[in-house]
Amino acid sequence: MSVQSENLEITRGDSKAYLLEFTDGAGVVKDITGWTVFFTVTDNLDAADDTHAQIVKTVTVHTDPTHGKTTINLLPADTNLLGDYYYDIQIKYDGKVETIVAGVITFNADATKRTV
């Protein structure tokens, strides 16, 4: 798999679900049973570890693993950020770790703070 570059936008304090579907180069669905998916948002690309991570999600229970589908769920508490950050999505399977998507994620200001 190759690393895709994609920038994301979300409004501060919103919930967001990112559905991922894994296929091989020929478009055949990959069985992701046993895989781990990591989603990390940071403000520091130079850090040697994730101590600067603002969001850390680890997905081991997948939406439909035999059909290559998983979901990364962000909650309002996760997205309570403002401005530009860096993110990546990594997968771990068969002892390998691969970064599949990386880019900038922008958290835009919200006009409404109330939720009730």
> Can you tell me the mean pLDDT for 78-95?
96
pLDDT for 114 beyond 80: no
Residue 25 confidence (pLDDT): 87
Task: List C-alpha distances in Å: 47 to 2, 3, 50, 51, 111.
Answer: 23, 20, 7, 7, 33
The Cα–Cα gap between 50 and 54 comes to 9
Read off the pLDDT of residues 33-72 as tens digits, 9 standing for 90 and up: 999 999 999 999 888 788 889 999 999 999 999 999 999 9
Q: Residue 2's Cα: distance from chain center in Å?
A: 16
Quote the tokens at residue 35.
Answer: 């895989």
- Percent residues over pLDDT 90 in the chain: 80
What is the overall mean pLDDT for the chain? 93
Q: How far apart are CA 73 and CA 19, in angstroms?
A: 9
Third-level CATH fold of 4-108: Immunoglobulin-like (2.60.40)
Where are any strands of DSSP class E within the chain? 4-5, 8-11, 16-21, 36-42, 53-59, 69-74, 83-93, 96-108
The whole-model pTM stands at 0.91
Domain ranges of the chain: 4-108
